[in-house]
Amino acid sequence: MFDSYIENTLQYNPEKCINCLRCTQVCPHGVFAEGKDHAELVKPTACMECGACALNCPVQAIEVESGVGCAWAMIGAALRGKDMDSAECGCGDGAGNCCGGKC
């Protein structure tokens, strides 16, 4: 059974997880954490839908419609008349993990 969340399109099926921990390594927002038998979804609302976890999961335990989060940066840039290189991500991460330092 997939857990789904209203805030984003991230879906995780812990029953499929083989605990390789790749998702914990690639996620820029710490959405997944190491668990006993499978990865734990600890911050589902922090997901910015970059798609890295789903791309790297070897057993397709994660599904996400990637690209939606980054669209905020594109929309913001367009509204401010800037290009993407000068756009702020706006995710609140502050560390630049998802957008190269423009949070």
Q: How far is the CB of 72 from ligand SF4 (least distance, A)?
A: 13
- What is d(CA 26, CA 102) in angstroms, rounded to the nearest whole number? 19
Question: Which residue's entry shows tokens 């710490």?
Answer: 30
Amino acid at 31: V
Q: From the list 4, 5, 19, 67, which residue makes contact with ligand SF4 (rule: CB under 6 A)?
A: 19
Amino acid at 26: V
Kindly report the length of the chain.
Answer: 103
Question: With binding defined as CB under 6 A, does residue 99 bind ligand SF4?
Answer: no
Q: How far is the CB of 81 from ligand SF4 (least distance, A)?
A: 28
List, in sequence order, every residue forming a beta bridge with 62; answer none if it has no partner.
12
Bridge partners for 63 per DSSP: 11
Binding mask 25-64 for ligand SF4 (x = CB under 6 A): -xxxx-xx-----xx-------xxxxxxx--xxxx-xx-x
For ligand SF4, the binding residues (CB under 6 A) are 10, 17-23, 26-29, 31-32, 38-39, 47-53, 56-59, 61-62, 64
